[in-house]
């Protein structure tokens, strides 16, 4: 067995680093320590995949292991090789295995890969597709039980096959995601999102094993309310909002983690305002035109008190609005939503 750790690099966009900074109070509102990272795709999304290289066998492995997620999550993969596919995969053996995380893939130019499968040992493709649908590394879980021997890890990762400097090693292995950044719960030693690390890399002599299949908790989490529940609202269920309707549309976040979906048709180019009102602290995202994966804007409390408000110039077309509670863990309550053309 090759005891060198083949470590996956989850790519974090530069702007992400800025987003992790504490935010200033908004218009006299409450101070929020950290913005949660909303990287998951809209529930029920079909993600298109384009292979930029790879043998038939390599592509087949990637398709099969992506399918493990599709079996349990309310997501579909369409391997249509479209030029505007959300997930674009290279198979460069000299570039390791890595992926951008979830909706970050949208920010990568279409002629560039969002994932590289430089090796396909075990469940590597499933692991990388896990990133592509918004999962982080299990070994960086703040709930994790790994007691790193930092000096050994830094020295080992500086050798073949990784050749990482200290900062890269700190980013990829040692630095833990803060509790506010992740949606997971307990550390899962069987997760596909965990990599093999030798016992000598830890202070207590307890290493980790590579996992080649989705664990029970992986399946439960990805199909759960916080990610892609099959029972949740999906794109075809989106409620139609009439632009400039006389009455506001009344709604509620009736259960934890619920996401409400709306769509509206902009019949003419112009400036549109979408806002919520009511006592419930919601986050609103606007997607389109004609796409449920192309994010235009996101807001949590530009509206009155903790309400959301997006004012944006749109071309004619169909748009999707997603509303969820700011606090996915426990938030519920009533709100109303309205779209106006100015
Ligand atoms: Zn990874």
pLDDT at site 201: 86
Q: How many angstroms separate the alpha carbon of residue 59 from the centre of ligand 1?
A: 19
CA 296 to CA 314: how far, in whole Å?
A: 9
Q: How far is the CA of 9 from the centre of ligand 1 (A)?
A: 5
- If you measure from the C-alpha of residue 22 to the centroid of ligand 1, how many angstroms do you get, rounded to a whole number? 26
SS3 annotation, the chain: CCCCCCCCEEECCHHHHHHCCCCCCCCCCCCCCCCCCCCCCCCCCEEEEEECCCCHHHHHHHHHHHHHHHHHCCCEEECCCCCCCCEEEECCCCCCEEEECHHHHHHCCCCCCCEEECCCCCCHHHHHHHHHCCCCCHHHCCCCCCCECHHHHHHHHCCCCCCCCHHHHHHHHHCCCCHHHCCCCCCCCCCCCCCCECHHHECCCCCECCCCCCCHHHHHHHCCCCCCCCCCCCHHHCEECCCCCCCCEEEEECCCCCEEEEEEEECCCEEEEEEEECCCCEEEEEECCCCCCCEEEEECCCCCCCCCEEEEEECCEEEEEEEEECCCCCCCEEEEEEEEEC
Q: How far is the CA of 55 from the centre of ligand 1 (A)?
A: 22
Distance 191 CA to ligand 1 centre (A): 11
Give the tens place of pLDDT for each residue, 5-53: 566 665 655 434 333 322 233 333 322 222 234 678 888 899 999 999 9
Buried-exposed string 165-182: b where 16+ CB fall within 10 A, e elsewhere: eeebbeebbbebbeeebb
What is the model's pLDDT at position 202? 85
The CA 222 to ligand 1 mean position distance, Å, reads 16
For ligand 1, the distance from its centroid to the CA atom of residue 193, given in whole angstroms, is: 6
Q: How confident is the model over 240-257, as pLDDT tens digits?
A: 999 999 999 999 988 776
326 CA distance to ligand 1 centroid (A)? 27
Mean pLDDT computed over 128-138: 87
Q: How far is CA 216 from CA 101, 130, 224, 288, in A?
A: 22, 14, 12, 35
Q: Is it the case that residue 341 has pLDDT exceeding 80?
A: yes
Cα of 66 vs centre of ligand 1, distance in Å, is 14
Ligand 1 centroid to Cα of residue 290, in Å, is 31
**Ligand 1 centroid – CA 212 distance (Å):** 13
Residue range 263-293, pLDDT digits in tens: 999 999 999 999 999 998 888 888 888 887 7
- Output the six-digit token pair for 153: 């890890």
Instruction: For residue 11, report the phi and psi dihedrals to the nearest 5 degrees.
Output: -80, 130
Q: How far is the CA of 136 from the centre of ligand 1 (A)?
A: 7
- 189: its two tokens: 């030693």
Taking the centre of ligand 1 as the mean of its atom positions, its distance from the CA of residue 258, in whole angstroms, is 28
Kindly report, residue by residue over 157-213, the tens digit of the pLDDT.
Answer: 888 767 888 988 887 778 766 555 555 556 788 888 887 778 888 888 888 887 899
Share of the chain above pLDDT 70, in %: 82
- Ligand 1 mean position, distance from CA 124 (Å): 8
Distance 12 CA to ligand 1 centre (A): 11
Distance 24 CA to ligand 1 centre (A): 32
List CB-based neighbours of ion ligand 1 within 5 Å: 8, 10
Instruction: Give the pLDDT confidence score for residue 277 in this predicted structure.
Output: 93
284-296: string of b/e by CB count within 10 Å (b at 16+)?
A: bbbbbeebbbbbb
| pLDDT for res 1 | 35
Measured in Å, residue 334 CA sits from the centre of ligand 1 at 38
Give residue 7 CA to ligand 1 midpoint distance, Å: 7
The pLDDT, as a whole number, for residue 278 is: 92
Ligand 1 centre and the CA of 98: distance in Å? 6
Residue 16 CA to ligand 1 centre (angstroms): 17
Q: Report the separation in Å between the CA atom of 205 and the middle of ligand 1, taken as the mean of its atom positions.
A: 23
Cα 94 to Cα 3: distance, rounded to the nearest angstrom: 19
């Amino acid at each position: 067995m090759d005891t060198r750790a083949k470590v996956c690099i989850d790519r974090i966009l530069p702007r992400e680093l800025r987003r992790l900074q504490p935010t200033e109070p908004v218009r006299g509102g409450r101070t929020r320590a950290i913005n949660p990272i909303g990287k998951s795709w809209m529930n029920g999304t079909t993600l298109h995949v384009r292979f930029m290289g790879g043998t038939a066998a390599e592509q087949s492995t990637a398709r099969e292991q992506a399918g493990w997620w599709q079996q349990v999550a309310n997501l579909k993969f369409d391997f249509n090789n479209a030029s505007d596919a959300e997930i674009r995969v290279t198979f460069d053996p000299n570039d390791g295995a890595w992926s951008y995380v979830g909706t970050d893939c949208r920010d990568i130019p279409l002629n560039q890969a969002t994932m590289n499968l430089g090796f396909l040992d075990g469940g590597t493709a499933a692991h990388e597709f896990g990133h592509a649908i918004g999962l982080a590394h299990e070994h960086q879980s703040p709930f994790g039980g790994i007691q790193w021997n930092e000096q050994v890890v830094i020295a080992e990762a500086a050798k073949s096959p990784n050749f990482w400097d200290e900062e890269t090693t700190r980013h990829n292995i040692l630095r833990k995601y803060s509790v506010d950044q992740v949606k997971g719960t307990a550390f899962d030693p069987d997760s596909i999102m965990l990599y093999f690390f030798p016992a000598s890399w830890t202070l207590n002599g307890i290493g980790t094993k590579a996992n080649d299949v989705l664990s029970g908790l992986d399946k439960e989490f990805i199909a759960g309310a916080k990610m892609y529940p099959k029972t949740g609202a999906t794109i075809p269920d989106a409620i139609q909002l009439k632009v400039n309707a006389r009455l506001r549309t009344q709604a509620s976040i009736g259960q934890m983690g619920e996401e409400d979906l709306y769509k509206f048709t902009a019949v003419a180019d112009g400036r549109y305002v979408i806002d919520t009102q009511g006592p419930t602290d919601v986050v609103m995202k606007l997607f389109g035109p004609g796409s449920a994966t192309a994010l235009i804007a996101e807001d949590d409390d530009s509206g009155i008190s903790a309400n959301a408000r997006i004012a944006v110039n749109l071309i004619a077309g169909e748009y999707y609005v997603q509303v969820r509670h700011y606090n996915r863990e426990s938030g519920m309550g009533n709100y109303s939503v309205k779209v106006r053309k100015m």
